[in-house]
Structure 1
Amino acid sequence: MLNHNMANPNPIVTRSLDEIRFWSRIMKEHALFLSLGFTHEQSQLIAEAQQFIDLFERIEEKLSKYSVNTDIRQIQAFNNEVYQAAVAIWSYKRKVLGLTLRCEIRTNNYALLIDHVSREAAYFANRLKDLNEGRLAPEPDTIIQENLFFLRIMADHAKFIGHLLDPSERKLVEQAREFSHDFDQLVFQAIDLDSMRPQSQTEPILDQFLDQNRVSVASLRDFKKTARDLIEACRIKSNIHPLLADHTFREAERFLEIIDLFESHLSNNNR
């Protein structure tokens, strides 16, 4: 969970550990999902994916040795180490995407899914870079851009869910399609708001923007939770791995935490 109070004298340490804890697990799972989508003759790509699973497991093990009281210089060094891992898995994902788009490989991984996971790797790397450069408090343009990133992630999730559900699950497929449409509209709205900067950088507009996103994300989060529980109980038909269902649920929860963080920041600025 994001620490909103940040009692630690150096919040860079707290946030760095939180980002690494969340995103390293996500990166490890991305490697697993890609490997499951490859065909048996793509053994080299599967082996590379396994190397990334092992790499991020080692990062998780090392993470457990640090605490919020760890010296900032140690955390900055750790951030640099994890940054290199995030850049490496980003490069791997872009390589796989290129092979897919050129039809050099045929896999069960959608091209949009490969692009999606590469965007998340880039986001992770950029967060670590920002933290090591001392950038912690969000600026208005950062709020819009970060929401735009996550809104697109949520829209992608809805599309993946809709395509991976069995076609006979008509009601759930339709619900996923509706979420996809709703989040596409929110993405376009965020793009519009971003193009209005700096005029858009007023507290009421940003507050409304965050409130609207919160309602939509909470609704999608609840849908994902229901789908996850049904998949785990084998009560619906789909090609969705139970871990993937939980993975998308956790990312929706993360987005809600980030909205809370931004709203807290705006509220503090108004005092």
Structure 2
Amino acid sequence: MASPIVARSLDEIRFWSRIMKEHALFLSLGFTYEQRQLIAEAQQFIALFERIEEKLSRFSPNSELGQVQAFNNEVYQAAVAIWHYKRKVLGLELRCEIRSNNFPLLIDHVSREAAYFANRLKELNEGRLVPEANDIIQENVFFLKIMADHAKFIGHLLDPSERKLVEQAREFSHDFDQLVFQAVDLDSMRPQSETVPILDQFLDQNRVSVASLRDFKRTARELIEACRIKSNIHPLLADHTFREAERFLEIIDMFEATLSAPKMQRPFDS
């Protein structure tokens, strides 16, 4: 019988390894010609995650748990390595030792995603398939901040003459900032299992907002690919942010399924 930990591990690696590879590409495109060493390091990470993707293709949901756990450890090391690289680049930017076309917030953003990926692999190897009730709020804080960042990046990378789209991006940025603050407030209240309806409402509200942003990103991606709007947004970056919104919606569905499970089956009930 296939192990849920194996299936979840392979899914996380499939999604996030591609994201890490693309992060390295986007950073390399943002560096200036003089920053050849940083570009070379980024290219090494592209090659590293391509090798991981190639190795991933040899696994299946029926693979042995021990083999997948060993693979998780290997990918964990790669995720930690690219996290260190991203934080190094951020430090260089903040100390004004380099000047590139990579926003400091973007570098921080991609480093947070690397840390999230590494942490998920660690949790899976510890046997934690789904978050505990309180962790659901923190995971939503993480993804809501990611969505807010995306809206800000889109607004900054669109040509200023695209006034309507720029304004839409700003509105999404504001809305998701408010959702982040609301999630932080809810986290401080620490709802326990007996207050599940509060979590249900929280997830429902997030789903509506993320679906709206996802649809905006889909439209922007299609317009960019068709060269129908003016921007500095790489078509792959447009698709990248769309996929992350889709991922958040999948995670919300997973959380709701966990909360609706019979109490005896909930892994977070004591």
TM class by shorter-chain length? Answer: over 0.9
For residue 38 of structure 1, the aligned residue among 27, 31, 40 is 31
| Residue 218 of structure 1: how far off its partner (Å) | 0.1
For residue 16 of structure 1, the aligned residue among 9, 15, 18 is 9
Is 1:101 aligned with 2:94? Answer: yes
Percent identity over paired residues: 85
Looking at structure 1, the residues matched to 193 and 72 of structure 2 have their Cα atoms a distance apart, in angstroms, of 33
User: What is the aligned partner in structure 2 of residue 166 from structure 1?
Assistant: 159
User: What is the aligned partner in structure 2 of residue 217 from structure 1?
Assistant: 210
Which amino acid counterpart does residue 62 of structure 2 have in structure 1? N
Which amino acid counterpart does residue 85 of structure 1 have in structure 2? A
Q: Is the 8 A contact 2:151 2:173 kept in 1?
A: yes
Looking at structure 1, the residues matched to 130 and 227 of structure 2 have their Cα atoms a distance apart, in angstroms, of 43
Partner deviation per Cα, 1:199-237 (whole Å, 9 max, x = no partner): 586110000000000000000000000000000000000
Looking at structure 2, the residues matched to 270 and 90 of structure 1 have their Cα atoms a distance apart, in angstroms, of 38
For residue 189 of structure 2, the aligned residue among 187, 192, 196 is 196
For residue 145 of structure 1, the aligned residue among 128, 138, 144 is 138
Partner deviation per Cα, 1:159-212 (whole Å, 9 max, x = no partner): 000000000000000000000000000000000000011458611000000000
Corresponding residue pairs, total? 264
Poorly superposed stretches of 4+, deviation over 2 Å? 198-201
User: What is the aligned partner in structure 1 of residue 255 from structure 2?
Assistant: 262
Is 1:207 aligned with 2:226? Answer: no
Task: Classify the secondary structure of the residue corresponding to 1:66.
Answer: coil
Q: Is the 8 A contact 1:194 1:200 kept in 2?
A: no
Looking at structure 1, the residues matched to 193 and 174 of structure 2 have their Cα atoms a distance apart, in angstroms, of 24
Task: Classify the secondary structure of the residue corresponding to 1:109.
Answer: coil
Q: Could you list the runs of 5+ residues in structure 2 that have no partner in the other structure?
A: 265-270
Q: Could you list the runs of 5+ residues in structure 1 that have no partner in the other structure?
A: 1-7
Q: Is the 8 A contact 1:141 1:201 kept in 2?
A: no
Q: Is the 8 A contact 1:140 1:201 kept in 2?
A: no
Q: Is the 8 A contact 1:169 1:237 kept in 2?
A: yes
| Residue 76 of structure 1: how far off its partner (Å) | 0.4
Structure 1-normalised TM-score? Answer: 0.96
RMSD: 1.1
| Residue 10 of structure 1: how far off its partner (Å) | 1.5
